[in-house]
Homo-oligomer: A and B are copies of this chain.
């Protein structure tokens, strides 16, 4: 079986590694000739909107998927006329625009921060009055890892924000003074079967995920159930196939959906060692119509992203029961270069290991 992947970053690389174990072969399309997937898949180097390249890419594929959120929806539709594409292109379209995404959540009865479309500075001023400050002004499209965001704390920030990222395609969201950031990974097969990983706690710095704790420490069964209920609504509304991630804020005991990603997700990397079946294998099982694998956690895991620079691998590997993942990318500030996963029998020993790794990374 030959699987096509739009995008050849670390997510594609980890999909290809998981799928190679199952005897699958991969072809990726990416504009970067040095894309991390290149050593474990056939790589076609081209832009996503290059229709000739898409034709070549599609030839002989059994199924296609995407590992990058900002693939043009038209390219995915073009591909979908030639080969089955999962998740469905609609999921990509709803997820690519923060306003559509929030409206979609709202329509499904999933709680979100208050939000308003912003097309002009007048819109912004009015919305800021209605929603109240602090609030976050965001570009509707192409924002990731905290890019294209501006926090408004006082009325003076309105013009600064507008001058910084002003455009007709913005959204203003009330700032949720969250206690924790959480995410759930859900997977749905071609027959509508579903499975859910335990809810994960995520810690970001400068908008980039730094740490995931899985399962989230001390999370109630009620919150797990609430996250699964929200995930089911999204999965069914989109007739979704594949892995889906939804990120939440936890505030006063309630989940506020922030965004969803119609793909494997950074907050699921822990599943490679920390769950019975990894998110990567389960995504592939789903899109191939194979039975889904168990999402049960094996102990208590933590995933620490390696961003910008790499630590001495010897120091990392000297730590007991530490799993180092490197994506074969050139170091660059803010770039995700790899991650470390640890798996421990209880949350307390996990906490100790996380501190040890943070100390190691700092010095």
Residues of A at the B interface (CB closer than 8 Å) are 13, 17, 20-23, 25-26, 39-41, 276, 285, 290-291, 293-294, 296, 298, 313-314, 317-318, 320-321, 324-328, 338
Contacts and interface: CB of A to CB of B under 8 A. Distances in A.
A325 B21 contact: yes
A18 B222 CA distance: 38
Given A17-B21, A21-B325, A291-B314, 5 more contacts: A21-B326, A23-B338, A290-B314, A291-B318, A296-B321
Q: How many copies does the complex hold?
A: 2
A23 B328 contact: yes
Contact of A23 (B22, B293, B326): B326
A62 to B, nearest CB: 13
A144 to B, nearest CB: 23
A281 to B, nearest CB: 9
Contacts of A296: 321
Contacts of A325: 21-23
A276 B184 CA distance: 26
A26 B328 CA distance: 12
A321 B276 contact: yes
A290 B313 contact: yes
A338 B23 CA distance: 9
A296 B20 CA distance: 25
Given A20-B39, A25-B39, A338-B23, A291 B276 contact: no
A342 to B, nearest CB: 11
Contact of A294 (B21, B39, B291, B321): B321
A121 to B, nearest CB: 47
A328 B313 CA distance: 32
Nearest to A320: B294
A285 B20 contact: no
Nearest to A273: B276
Contact of A317 (B293, B314, B321): B293
Contacts of A25: 39, 328
Contact of A17 (B20, B41, B294, B324): B20
Given A21-B325, A23-B328, A325-B21, A317 B290 contact: yes
A284 to B, nearest CB: 11
7 contacts: A17-B20, A22-B325, A23-B328, A25-B39, A25-B328, A285-B317, A290-B317
